Amino acid sequence: MGLFGGPSEYTRAAYLVPREVVLITGEHEGDEALWPVDLHMPVALEPPFYALSCRTEAFGARVVLASGVFVVNFMPASEETKVIEAGALSGAGAAKRARLGLAVSPARFVRAPRLDAADGWIEAEVHEVRRFGDRSLIVGRVVHAETRPRGARTFHEWRR
Ligand SMILES: Cc1cc2nc3c(=O)[nH]c(=O)nc-3n(C[C@H](O)[C@H](O)[C@H](O)COP(=O)(O)O)c2cc1C
């Protein structure tokens, strides 16, 4: 898989350790967010907070910021093709999820869809957004998490 952001020593360093690619989902007034993110992490355990680093102009991020909630879906390796395809398509004006054939169920505590194929998911309410260069750090207060790990997940690594 190519490296988004281009090959520089900085991105090479950032991706020396494979990063798990999750799919973020959200919904606002009929618009659906669905996009892969590998820049994400838990930032606090008690109380729990989870952070995403995103281009805030991207369609999915705008949906999440408008609704104030997001779901982090941990995808099994068997769904890798769809995960990567979700990064190549824009959700703007297109039924991205339907094109990818990903089924959803309502999240339990936030108004957003979660992906049925996920090995687990985290539901969060946007708590704080801070701009850093070309990205924004979206920090969510975790309101629910559920996991059912079944095997290998999807990772993004530097291969050269
Ligand atoms: C493997 C992979 C990892 C990505 N990681 C991120 C990320 O961490 N943050 C981000 O803003 N975009 C990331 N992207 C790019 C977004 O997924 C892409 O801009 C998004 O799909 C645009 O969709 P949208 O127009 O529906 O928002 C990644 C893409 C791929 C393929």
- Rounded to the nearest angstrom, the distance between the alpha carbon of 37 and the centre of ligand 1 is 5
Mutational pocket test of ligand 1: of 15, 28, 35, 63, the residue with most ligand atoms within 8 Å of the beta carbon: 35
Ligand 1 site, CB within 6 A = 4, 21, 35-39, 53-55, 58-60, 84, 86-87, 90-92, 156
- Rounded to the nearest angstrom, the distance between the alpha carbon of 31 and the centre of ligand 1 is 17
- Rounded to the nearest angstrom, the distance between the alpha carbon of 109 and the centre of ligand 1 is 25
- Rounded to the nearest angstrom, the distance between the alpha carbon of 151 and the centre of ligand 1 is 24
| ω into 36 cis (within 30 of 0) | no
* Least confident window among 36-50, 80-94, 114-128: 80-94
What pLDDT digit, counting tens, does each position of 50-70 carry?
999 999 899 999 999 999 999
Pick the CATH number of 24-156 from 2.30.110.10, 1.10.357.10, 3.90.800.10, 2.60.40.1730: 2.30.110.10
Residues 6+ apart with CB under 8 A from 106: 112, 113, 114
Whether this model's pTM surpasses 0.85? yes
What pLDDT digit, counting tens, does each position of 76-105 carry?
999 999 999 999 988 786 688 989 999 999
Q: Is the pLDDT of residue 75 over 60?
A: yes
Q: Whose CA is nearest to atom 30 of ligand 1?
A: 87
Residue 13, classified by CB atoms within 10 Å of its CB into exposed (0-12), middle (13-18) or buried (19+), is exposed
Q: Which residue has the higher pLDDT, 39 or 17?
A: 39
